[in-house]
Amino acid sequence: MKYMLLMQFSAAGTDFPSIDTWTPEEIQAHIGFMIETNGKLAADGELVQAEGLAGPQQARIVRAGAGGAPVVTEGPFAETKEFLAGWWIVDCETPERAVEIAAHISTAPGPGGRPLNMPIEVHPVMSAPPQEM
């Protein structure tokens, strides 16, 4: 079963300063943790995909306007309250395992090397074979 894990940052749900205020060592430790985590998931045969997203400054919200032409209705977001920072798709045996992976990612180190305990959303991906109805 595949699960999508979303690293969703929100001003309300997090109690740590944004990464641009961290020391180089703190940033390095954070990146090292992510690389190690992805390496472990790959070695376990569970990693389908992992991507980080560019910052909210580069994001846009697009709707179709007259004749289907794209209309940018919002963004770039200079001071956004909530944004998606990255995601993983993992393929694992049980929902419990997906939760375990999410909890591990949540412990990524932040300022002072302390775990960020950031919220990770776990979504099952629609990948099961259908039953005959």
Site of interaction with another protein (CB under 8 A): 1, 42-49, 91, 93, 124-133
Q: How far is the CB of 125 from another protein (least distance, A)?
A: 8
Residue with Cβ nearer another protein (49 or 73): 49
Name the residue nearer to another protein (CB basis): 79 or 93: 93
Interatomic CA distance for residues 118 and 106, integer angstroms: 5
For the CB of residue 72, give the shortest distance to another protein in the complex, in Å: 29
Nearer to another protein, 7 or 47 (CB): 47
Question: Rounded to 5 degrees, what are φ and ψ at 27?
Answer: -65, -45
In the complex, the smallest distance separating the C-beta of residue 65 from another protein, rounded to whole angstroms, is 28
| Sign of the CA dihedral with 98 first, then 99, 102, and 103 last | negative
Closest distance to another protein from the beta carbon of 45 (Å): 3
